[in-house]
């Protein structure tokens, strides 16, 4: 089909499709398309080598000598000049004729001879041309090179040149010229495919490199996980290449892994706290999110600042014992959860005896407090006090022991065991009493193990005040959508207060998932847990990952390094990460890059016939992805996003002052 190179962009796709469907069709492109951009001097040199170098005066030396013998010096000059000039005229005439013929030669290639990769590439380039992504010159040069096929083509001439004596020389010159100036055919195809990959619609470029690829705008439009349209329960993951927000509107959990300074807070935490109208629980490990977002979130609902380490007392209060039932059977379960959050199980310990026994006594004393203490005594401070009782007595029948706090505690435990029928209470009371005279050092070690995990609750008056009562109930996050609880700590305090964070988190998760099914359209309660690995092995995380979706509860976990999660969760680390619907990575380190690369998959080049990763680990750690968010979701293409920097877009909201927090009354 002559004239394909002159097609208007709007008709290119349809014309190419018709051409490919016709087995008798031919791709016909004027050779002039490839001749026009060539360097004139280079072209002349190639043609001269084909048809013969231009005449030189030296070649006319012999005729000049003959002229010297017959006509003297004048005859030599005349004879030599005439001979040289005549040869120049003949050579220039051939050059002119050949040049004229070259402009009329048409490169012809039967469509049936195109390979499958070429048949995939031709419509892809046509789409890019039709979309205005390629210039007309690029389009016609691609067609000409596709037809040329390294000389495996036909060279057609118009009828009036059929008998021209210089046609053979012209064809030889054209082949020599294109051989010297055109790229190898495989290279040309690969370069065209690369161009299409960046310019053509993804649906087209995918045909050239089937397999893995980054998510496109068309993919996003069809996605069952992501949306570009902000919804009431949507969470911002990042910004697509077209500048539109990439939102996740599901009830499943999320995780983000990125080192310090990679923008996790600015790009994901703050924007969502400023925009998400549903209830939220926020672990504020730098005590900054309250100041930057609480003013805005107070428009959604009540906001609570739980800052037990704030020496000024500017904190709301929360007492974990208020969530422990007074029913003996339920209280036993509640206190078991409390004890396990205070002393986590550590499978790596060679001798877990001390932790196990310490946990047993934490459970015992917590249960005694829950079932027997008055309202002001049901506190973690009282739990710490139990673990400070004297444990060494010479004579259990003497007044020193009989009047001691230890004796009263043992008597209380035995009475409670008899009343509730819970045998383990009595067993632990007996173990304590037996150890007082024979193994007091051993029992002291057990108590010391437990005491290390609760002593922080009784040492400072402002901490005791913050734990003395409850200003909110976890179910408030459900009953009053838009409620926000900020658990605020100063930098460096998280490790010491991790047991308290675990207790508060576990109690909220348990209350919100118990006997509850999410209502259609209800906003899920979202937990933003920064520095998640520092909290240790949280069983509640696995519970929420398993049942949170149905209960309208989701987590957004944040960690600096993948290695931190593996250190805590061991062989279950990858499973925990993959259980999250959205997995975001910012400036991945080596471990994270090795984790991401296989998940991105491989793409196959039709032209080279080889599989290659969508992105190599060293690429993921390099500059190309340094300012990007790499997001993975089950059942979706990987997506490469830009960061939305909160202070640039939401500075007006971030400057809103948070509500005043009334200082707690003094507690001695």
**Which pLDDT value is given to residue 132?**
85
pLDDT score of 665:
65
Confidence grade of residue 232 (pLDDT, cut at 50, 70, 90) = low
pLDDT in the model for residue 162: 83
Q: Is the dihedral of CA 199, 204, 206, 209 positive or negative?
A: negative
The phi and psi torsions of 375 (rounded to 5 degrees) equal -55, -40
Do 668 and 461 meet the contact criterion of CB atoms below 8 Å apart?
yes
Helices and strands, counts by H and E, the chain: 30, 17
The CA distance from 372 to 431, in Å, is 21
pLDDT digits (tens, 9 = 90+) for 84-94: 567 767 777 88
**Average confidence score pLDDT of the chain:** 88
Q: What's residue 638's pLDDT?
A: 95
pLDDT of residue 203: 56
What confidence tier does 194 reach under pLDDT thresholds 50, 70, 90? confident
Residue 329: what pLDDT?
Answer: 97
Which residues touch 432 (CB under 8 Å, ≥6 apart)?
361, 391, 406, 409, 410, 413, 443
Confidence of residue 418 (pLDDT cuts 50, 70, 90): very high
Q: Which of 116-120, 307-311, 622-626 has the lowest mean pLDDT?
A: 116-120
Q: Which of 11-25, 275-289, 306-320 has the lowest mean pLDDT?
A: 11-25
What is the residue whose two structure tokens read 């007595």?
A: 393
Residue-level pLDDT at 6: 67
Element holding 525 (H helix, E strand): strand 525-529
The conformation of residue 225, written as its DSSP 8-state character, comes to S
The first and second tokens of residue 8, run together, are: 């208007």
Give the residue-averaged pLDDT of 578-596: 95
pLDDT, greater one: 98 or 506? 506
Block residue for tokens 């310090």:
260
The pLDDT of residue 166: 86
Outline where DSSP puts E strands in 428-497: 484-488
* 426-451 mean pLDDT: 90
Please state, in angstroms and as integers, the Cα–Cα distance from residue 537 to each residue in 317, 496, 544, following that order. 26, 15, 14
pLDDT reported for residue 65 = 45
Helix (H, G, I), strand (E, B) or coil at 146: helix
Q: What angle do CA 139, 141, 147 make, to 5 degrees?
A: 105
Q: Which of 106, 114, 111, 100 is nearest to 2 (CA)?
A: 106
Give the Cβ contact number of residue 605 at 10 Å: 18
Amino acid 547: pLDDT:
84
What confidence score (pLDDT) does residue 62 get?
46
Q: Which secondary structure element, helix H or strand E, spans residue 641, and what is its range?
A: strand 639-642
Q: Measure the CA–CA gap between 364 and 386, rounded to whole angstroms.
A: 10
HSE, side-chain direction, 13 A CA sphere, residue 85? 6
What is the per-residue pLDDT for 3? Answer: 55
Percent above pLDDT 70 for the chain:
89
H/E stretch holding 115 reads none
Can you give the pTM of this predicted structure?
Answer: 0.74
Q: Is the dihedral of CA 371, 375, 376, 378 positive or negative?
A: positive
Rg (CA), the chain: 41
d(CA 155, CA 34): 14
Least confident range from 179-183, 329-333, 544-548: namely: 544-548
* Cβ atoms within 10 Å of 363's Cβ, excluding its own: 24
* Residue 207's pLDDT band (cuts 50, 70, 90): low
As a whole number of angstroms, the distance between CA 67 and CA 561 comes to 94
pLDDT of residue 668: 46
Mean pLDDT of 456-464: 93
495 and 534 Cβ atoms separated by less than 8 Å: yes
pLDDT at 568 over 60: yes
């Amino acid at each position: 089909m002559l004239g394909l190179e002159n097609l208007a962009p709007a008709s290119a796709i349809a014309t190419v499709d018709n051409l490919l469907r016709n087995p008798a069709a031919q791709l016909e492109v004027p050779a002039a398309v490839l001749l026009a951009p060539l360097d004139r001097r280079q072209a002349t040199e190639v043609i001269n080598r084909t048809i013969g170098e231009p005449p030189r005066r030296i070649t006319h030396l012999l005729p000049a000598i003959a002229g010297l013998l017959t006509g003297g010096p004048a005859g030599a000059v005349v004879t030599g000049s005439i001979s040289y000039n005549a040869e120049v005229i003949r050579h220039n005439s051939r050059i002119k004729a050949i040049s004229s013929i070259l402009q009329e030669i048409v490169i012809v290639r039967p469509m049936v001879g195109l390979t499958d990769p070429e048949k995939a590439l031709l419509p892809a380039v046509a789409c890019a041309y039709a979309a205005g992504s390629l210039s007309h010159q690029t389009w016609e040069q691609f067609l000409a090179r596709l037809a040329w096929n390294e000389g495996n083509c036909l060279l057609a001439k118009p009828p009036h040149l059929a008998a021209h004596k210089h046609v053979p020389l012209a064809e030889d010159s054209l082949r020599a010229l294109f051989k010297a100036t055109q790229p190898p055919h495989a290279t040309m195809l690969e370069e065209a495919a690369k161009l299409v990959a960046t310019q053509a619609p993804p649906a087209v470029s995918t045909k050239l490199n089937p397999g893995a690829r980054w998510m496109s705008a068309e993919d996003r439009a069809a996605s069952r996980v992501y949306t570009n349209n902000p919804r009431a329960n949507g969470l911002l993951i990042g910004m697509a290449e077209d500048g539109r927000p990439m939102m996740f509107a599901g009830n499943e959990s999320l995780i983000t892994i990125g080192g310090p300074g990679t923008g996790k807070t600015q790009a994901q935490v703050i924007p969502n706290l400023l925009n998400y109208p549903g209830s939220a629980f926020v672990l504020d490990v730098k005590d900054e999110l309250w100041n930057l977002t609480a003013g805005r979130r107070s428009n959604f609902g009540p906001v609570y600042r739980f800052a037990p380490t704030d020496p000024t007392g500017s904190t709301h209060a929360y007492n974990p014992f208020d969530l422990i039932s007074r029913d003996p059977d339920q209280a036993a379960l509640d206190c078991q959860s409390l004890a396990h959050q205070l002393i986590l199980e550590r499978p790596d310990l060679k001798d877990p005896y001390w932790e196990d026994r310490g946990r047993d006594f934490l459970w015992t004393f917590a249960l005694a407090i829950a079932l027997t203490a008055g309202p002001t005594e049901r506190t973690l401070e009282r739990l710490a006090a139990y673990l400070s009782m004297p444990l060494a007595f010479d004579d259990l029948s003497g007044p020193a022991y009989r009047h001691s706090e230890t004796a009263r505690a043992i008597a209380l435990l035995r009475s409670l065991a008899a009343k509730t029928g819970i045998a383990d209470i009595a067993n632990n009371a007996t173990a304590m009493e037996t150890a007082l005279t024979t193994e007091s050092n051993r029992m002291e070690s057990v108590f010391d193990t437990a005491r290390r995990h609760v002593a922080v609750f009784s040492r400072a008056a402002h901490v005791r005040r913050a734990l003395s009562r409850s200003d909110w109930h976890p179910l408030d996050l459900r009953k009053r959508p838009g409620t926000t609880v900020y658990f605020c700590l100063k930098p460096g305090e998280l490790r010491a207060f991790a047991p308290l964070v675990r207790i508060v988190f576990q109690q909220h998760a348990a209350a919100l998932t118990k006997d509850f099914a999410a209502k259609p359209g209800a906003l899920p309660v979202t937990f933003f847990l920064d520095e998640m690995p520092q909290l240790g092995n949280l069983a509640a995380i696995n519970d929420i990952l398993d049942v949170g979706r149905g209960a309208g509860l989701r987590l957004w976990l944040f960690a600096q390094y993948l290695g931190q999660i593996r250190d805590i969760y061991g062989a279950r680390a990858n499973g925990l990460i993959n259980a999250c619907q959205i997995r975001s990575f910012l400036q991945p380190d080596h471990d994270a890059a090795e984790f991401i690369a296989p998940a991105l998959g491989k793409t196959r080049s039709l032209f080279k016939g080889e599989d290659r990763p969508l992105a190599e680990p060293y690429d993921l750690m390099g500059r190309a992805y340094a300012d990007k968010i790499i997001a993975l979701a089950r059942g979706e293409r990987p997506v490469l996003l830009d960061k939305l920097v909160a202070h640039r877009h939401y500075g007006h909201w971030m400057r809103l002052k948070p509500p005043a927090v009334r200082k707690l009354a003094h507690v001695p």
